[in-house]
Amino acid sequence: MLFRTATRADLPALVAMLADDPLGQGRESADLAPYLAAFDRIAAQPMHQIIVAETGGRVVATCQLTILDGLSRQGMTRALVEAVRTVPDLRGQGIGAALMAEAEARARAAGARMVQLTTDKSRLRAHAFYDRLGYAPSHLGYKKMLD
């Protein structure tokens, strides 16, 4: 398996993974234009990366890694992982765990001392996955949509 930074050419596969579950079906779109614009914004910022796992020329997993500098915890740098996805036909084969290990390695290399993430309350399999990887459900997260 090859881990690399995503390119614009990967967007159809990435969007398909984002849309391939009950939550994603209701919030993702077939129109690639907004994803292309977002990709360009992300790619222009050195503290943001979209990582893909590729095997046999096929993109099979992805996540977004953001490095955050902060004042709390004595100025600790932390990493935020978002949009973790693996293609459905390859789930349960260790690809997600390998992807998270890659994200953690990149976070360490950027000076981060903590990785944080959120996952929807309804994603029980994801909760078990993160538990197995040593992540602790230590905080209660809130979100507010801005109009």
- The pLDDT value recorded for residue 47 is 96
- The pLDDT value recorded for residue 22 is 79
CA angle, 132 then 103 then 146, to 5°: 95
In this structure, what are the phi and psi dihedrals at residue 68, rounded to the nearest 5 degrees? -120, 125
CA angle, 137 then 145 then 130, to 5°: 20
**Mean pLDDT, rounded, for 128-136:** 96
- The pLDDT value recorded for residue 98 is 98
DSSP letter for 91, please: T
pLDDT tens column, 21-39 = 878 878 888 889 999 999 9
pLDDT tens column, 56-76 = 999 999 999 999 999 999 999
- The pLDDT value recorded for residue 71 is 96
- Residue 23's CB: how many other CB atoms inside 10 A? 12
pLDDT tens column, 81-130 = 999 999 999 999 999 999 999 999 999 999 999 999 999 999 999 999 99
User: What are the structural domains, with CATH classification, of the chain?
Assistant: 2-132 (3.40.630.30)
CB 103 within 8 A of CB 50: no
CB 64 within 8 A of CB 77: no
CB 70 within 8 A of CB 112: no
| Amino acid making up residue 33 | A
- The pLDDT value recorded for residue 35 is 96
